[in-house]
Structure 1
Amino acid sequence: MNRHDKLTARNFQTAQEEAKLTSFDENPPDAYRLAFTDTDFLVRPELRPVRMQLELLKPELIQQELDIQSTVVIFGSARIADRESAQAAVDAARTANDSVALQRAERRLLMSGFYEEARRFAQLVTEHTKDHPHPLYVVTGGGPGIMEAGNRGAHEAGGRSIGLNIVLPHEQRPNQYITPELCFRFHYFGLRKMHFLIRSVALAAFPGGYGTLDELFETLTLIQTGKCRRRPILLFGRDFWSRLIDFDLLLDTGMISPGDEQLFHYVETADEAWALLVKEYEIDQPGASTGTAQEFPI
């Protein structure tokens, strides 16, 4: 170390260096372990606030390091298959002459159109913004179904995408299309949902069950109450959503205010959804901004 380097040298060893020094201890008693290397200590119930902070910070710091500022979130069911797999299931049911299986498979084939639209939408988002001053990165829940479709579309377009996986009793494996360094795993649903929204400039909700509804309504609530900025919420499939949620009833009974029904847009195709984002953010215009997380903090 030369004399100039000494002017800015660290006065204390890093935590990593300290951990390496203690790694040679053979089976030290728990009390003697460094607190931050003692996993048994870190998972104690009293350490929940610390674990929550770590779960907030880890994905945040990694995305900052990779200069990820603006995202498009894709929500939707893990149970919706791609068209090829759905068609294969129909063919197998017909061959087996199984009427119950055939009915189920035909329904899955019908729903597979949403997989293909999610895949196409992710492709459009990625292809058209790769060279943008603020590229848009697709974010999904990291699992199969619609989540896989989103990551797959971004991957096929030659871009990176993010997966926010969650530990579940029935293990949810990350799909193969997530960019490896952007594949995160969560214990807390609340912090996972916060990371969906921190950088998002738009959210696309495809048909789904309880999880999709939870994510959709949390987003609507935060926007309705002014807790986060307004941004496009795209509901793919008017027939599905209008049958599932009677927004007119909420209006007629005063459960939501006039104008709250305008917090979202129904769309049917990826091209329609992309056109809406282009109009909202003037993405095709030189120097256009999508509004980064730094400009619009949650």
Structure 2
Amino acid sequence: MADRPPDNSAQRDSPSYRLPALDQDFLLGDSMRGVRFLLEYAKAEEALRAWGVRSTIVVFGSARVKPGTPWYDTARAFGRLASERGGALDGEVGELRNNVIATGGGPGIMEAANRGATDVGAPSVGFNITLPHEQEPNAWSTPELTFRFHYFAMRKMHLAMRANALVVFPGGFGTFDELFELLTLRQTDKAPPIPIVLVDRAYWSSIINFEAMVEHGVIAARDLDLMGFADDAGGIWRELLARGLKPHQNLE
């Protein structure tokens, strides 16, 4: 009687025997952080290219703003206006689109802007982030352009790298984070000269005294020119155009 082959189940069941691409413990380990970072870049990049999203208008603001309130209604109206006039409706899937509405993907102002794009049949992007209390994607971003990130840095990179403009509604820490990220990139010439518009001058003037920063010498007077203000959807659009936004045209 032939000898039975030795039992190799321990070898086959060992974590080291798993294919690396199928080994979740390995992929989520410290040594693979760089690979995970690359994956978060590549997955969103591939989808955005497939949809021809060449440039975006990034809209940010508080996730706590409720439907039916002035800020929400203004953000929704702007999402409609920018999608109609900016170039998001220029092509079908796979063709180049410009000035597509892009948000952080969550509720509040972000939902409103995505919803406005949907109102006119335009695609829009939602760059969601995994949070301790899980953020749900809003129901208005284009499903194939609704992403989720673990790393804030990669999410910020995707928000910034295609941006033709930044429109910032009233918000809290997260909104300030995105605003000052883009202002710093502009101030240091690490990003192209995109228009930045703050919505509701009364809110921003009551929260941040930009002129006092000039008086204390921590920024230059010319840095105040990096941003403008507007109070309604039409005013936002006009301010973006006055600051150099080119409808139907991609970022240089």
TM-score exceeds 0.5 = yes
Aligned position for 2:59: 74
Counterpart secondary structure, 1:255? coil
Question: 2:103 aligned to 137, 140, 152, which one?
Answer: 140
Aligned position for 2:148: 185
Question: How big is the alpha-carbon RMSD for the aligned residues of Structure 1 and Structure 2?
Answer: 1.5
Of the structure 1 ranges 61-70 and 212-221, higher mean CA displacement relative to structure 2 is found in 61-70
Q: CA deviation at 1:67?
A: 1.2
2:226 is aligned with 1:263: yes
2:32 is aligned with 1:47: yes
Contact 2:230 2:239 in 1 (8 A): no
2:238 is aligned with 1:253: no
Contact 2:105 2:126 in 1 (8 A): yes
- Kindly report which structure 2 residues correspond to 1:99-248, keeping only aligned pairs within 5 A, or say none: 112-128=69-85, 129=87, 130-131=89-90, 134-248=97-211
Q: CA deviation at 1:240?
A: 0.5
Letter matched to residue 172 of structure 1: Q
Letter matched to residue 123 of structure 2: R
Structure 1 distance, partners of 2:27, 2:221, is: 48
- Kindly report which structure 2 residues correspond to 1:273-292, keeping only aligned pairs within 5 A, or say none: 273-279=236-242, 280-283=244-247, 290-292=249-251
Letter matched to residue 71 of structure 2: F
> Deviations 1:233-279 (Å, cap 9, x if unpaired)?
01000010011111011001110012100100010011011123344
Contact 2:197 2:240 in 1 (8 A): no
> Deviations 1:106-126 (Å, cap 9, x if unpaired)?
xxxxxx201100000010111
Counterpart secondary structure, 1:259? helix
Q: CA deviation at 1:43?
A: 0.2
2:231 is aligned with 1:272: no
Instruction: Give the TM-score of the pair, scaled to structure 1.
Output: 0.76
Structure 2 distance, partners of 1:291, 1:245, is: 32
5+ residue gaps in structure 1?
1-26, 84-111, 284-288
Structure 2 distance, partners of 1:41, 1:282, is: 46
- List structure 1 segments (4+ residues) > 6 angstroms apart after TM superposition: none
5+ residue gaps in structure 2?
1-11
Structure 1 distance, partners of 2:21, 2:158, is: 24
Q: CA deviation at 1:40?
A: 1.1
Letter matched to residue 235 of structure 1: L
Letter matched to residue 24 of structure 2: T
Q: CA deviation at 1:53?
A: 1.1
Structure 1 distance, partners of 2:174, 2:249, is: 27
Contact 2:99 2:250 in 1 (8 A): no
Percent identical pairs in the alignment equals 45
Instruction: Give the TM-score of the pair, scaled to structure 2.
Output: 0.89
Structure 2 distance, partners of 1:281, 1:117, is: 19
Q: CA deviation at 1:282?
A: 4.7
